[in-house]
Amino acid sequence: MPQDRAAPSVRRLNATAASLLGFLHAGPMTGWDLVEAAERLIGDFWSLTRSQVYRELATMANAGLIREGERGVRARRPYALTDEGRAAFAEWVRLEPGPETIRIPLLLTIGLGRHVPPERLAQFVEAHRTAHAARLARYEGMQRDAASGGVDDPYVTATLDFGVAYERAVLDWFDGLPPAIRGGARPDALSDP
């Protein structure tokens, strides 16, 4: 009888867990730290929540991929990579990254735009354009910081460049939208029900 008694930790690592292992290569970190690091470094193309992180940590500690270190101040619980964890990560990282998942609610609303009150649609578009512009500005700031700070990790640079390229493309797209969608057709109206 092959698959007996729970088969511990033989499953393929999920991408979120793997990324945590990746970060842990830099030294022991707590769940809190990992959330921060992840948000900063991969947050724009790989979202994760605290709950998820704590759960993955528990699971991985259980599977022996990480080991709890000494409790720090407050309730800090740093985890360190084990050799198994290092091996599991090395294995994961050689696997073909899956296809991207993109879900853009705004596009869904636009696609169904026929049924959306035009001034509402224009509001949505405007709000999202603003948000994207802010993101672009943030990315460009990060690029400048990296350049002036002498930081030159080509990998981080590449992902940041992706963000910039993406946001620029999106902004151009916004700016090319017809007035029927952007709402430029009513240059007077500013009020609202």
Partner DNA sequence: TACCCCATGTAATCAGTTACATGATTAT
Partner DNA sequence: ATAATCATGTAACTGATTACATGGGGTA
Binding site for its own copies (CB under 8 A): 15, 18-19, 22, 25, 41-42, 44-47, 89-90, 93-94, 96-117, 120, 124, 127-128, 131, 153-156, 158-159, 161-162, 165-166, 168-170, 172-173, 176-178, 180-181
Binding-site partner at residue 100 among its own copies, DNA, none, CB < 5 to 8 Å by type: its own copies
Is the Cβ–Cβ distance between 34 and 76 less than 8 Å?
no
Distance CA 80, CA 21 (A): 9
Is the Cβ–Cβ distance between 54 and 68 less than 8 Å?
no
Residue 94 makes contact with DNA by CB under 7 A: no
Residue 102 makes contact with DNA by CB under 7 A: no
Could you tell me which residues come within 8 angstroms of residue 174 by beta carbon, excluding any fewer than 6 positions away?
Answer: 125, 128, 129, 132, 182
Q: Calculate the CA dihedral of residues 55, 59, 62, 64 and round it to 10 degrees.
A: -120
CB of 23 to its own copies, least distance (A): 8
CB of 132 to its own copies, least distance (A): 9
Binding-site partner at residue 75 among its own copies, DNA, none, CB < 5 to 8 Å by type: DNA
Instruction: For 10-56, give the secondary structure using H, E and C.
Output: CCCCCHHHHHHHHHHCCCCECHHHHHHHHHHHCCCCCCCCHHHHHHH
Looking at the Cβ atoms of 101 and 148, the one nearer to DNA is 101
Instruction: Give the footprint of DNA on residues 22-51 (CB under 7 A).
Output: 30-33, 47-51
Is the Cβ–Cβ distance between 156 and 124 less than 8 Å?
no
Binding-site partner at residue 172 among its own copies, DNA, none, CB < 5 to 8 Å by type: its own copies
Q: Residue numbers of the site for DNA (CB under 7 A)?
A: 11, 14-16, 30-33, 47-52, 54-55, 57-58, 73-78, 101, 103
